[in-house]
Amino acid sequence: MKRNILITGGAGFIGSHVVRLFVNKYPDYNIVNLDKLTYAGNLENLKDIESAPNYAFVKADIADLDEMRRVVVEHKIDGIIHLAAESHVDRSIKDPFTFARTNVMGTLSLLQAAREYWESLPEKYDGKLFYHISTDEVYGALELTAPEGIESPFTTVASSEHHHAYGEDFFLETTKYDPHSPYSASKASSDHFVRAYHDTYGMPTVVTNCSNNYGPYQFPEKLIPLFINNIRHHKPLPVYGKGENVRDWLYVEDHARAIDLIFHKGKIAETYNIGGFNEWKNIDIIKVIIKTVDRLLGNPEGYSDELITYVTDRAGHDLRYAIDSRKLQRELGWEPSLQFEEGIERTVKWYLENQEWMDRITSGAYEQYYESMYAKR
pLDDT tens per residue, range 113-172: 999 999 999 999 999 999 999 999 999 988 877 545 444 444 333 344 444 457 778 999
Per the annotation, the verdict on 136 as an active-site residue is: yes
Per the annotation, the verdict on 183 as an active-site residue is: yes
Active-site entry in 61, 78, 137, 191: 137
Active-site entry in 183, 272, 321, 366: 183
**Apex 240 CA angle, 236 and 244, nearest 5:** 120
The full 3-state SS of the chain, as one line of letters, equals: CCEEEEEECCCCHHHHHHHHHHHHHCCCEEEEEEECCCCCCCHHHHCCCCCCCCEEEEECCCCCHHHHHHHHHHCCCCEEEECCCCCCHHHHHHCHHHHHHHHHHHHHHHHHHHHHHHHHCCCCCCCCEEEEEEEHHHHCCCCCCCCCCCCCCCCCCCCCHHHCCCCCCCECCCCCCCCCCHHHHHHHHHHHHHHHHHHHHCCCEEEEEECEEECCCCCCCCHHHHHHHHHHCCCCEEEECCCCCEEEEEEHHHHHHHHHHHHHHCCCCCEEEECCCCEEEHHHHHHHHHHHHHHHHCCCCCCCHHHEEEECCCCCCCCECCECCHHHHHHHCCCCCCCHHHHHHHHHHHHHHCHHHHHHHHHCHHHHHHHHHHHCC
pLDDT tens per residue, range 149-161: 444 444 333 344 4
pLDDT tens per residue, range 47-62: 999 999 999 999 999 9
The amino acid at 27 = P
C-alpha dihedral (113, 206, 267, 141), degrees to nearest 10 = -170
Per the annotation, the verdict on 66 as an active-site residue is: no
pLDDT tens per residue, range 232-275: 999 999 998 989 889 899 999 999 999 999 999 999 999 999 99
pLDDT at position 162 is: 43
Tell which residue, 212, 214, 225, 213, has the closest CA to residue 352: 225
Active-site entry in 35, 78, 86, 136: 136
375: pLDDT confidence band, cut at 50, 70 and 90? very low
Percent of the chain's residues with pLDDT above 90:
76
Give me the chain's average pLDDT, please: 90
pLDDT at position 367 is: 54
Residue 80 CA to residue 92 CA, distance in Å, equals 25
The answer, yes or no, to whether residue 299 has pLDDT greater than 80, is yes
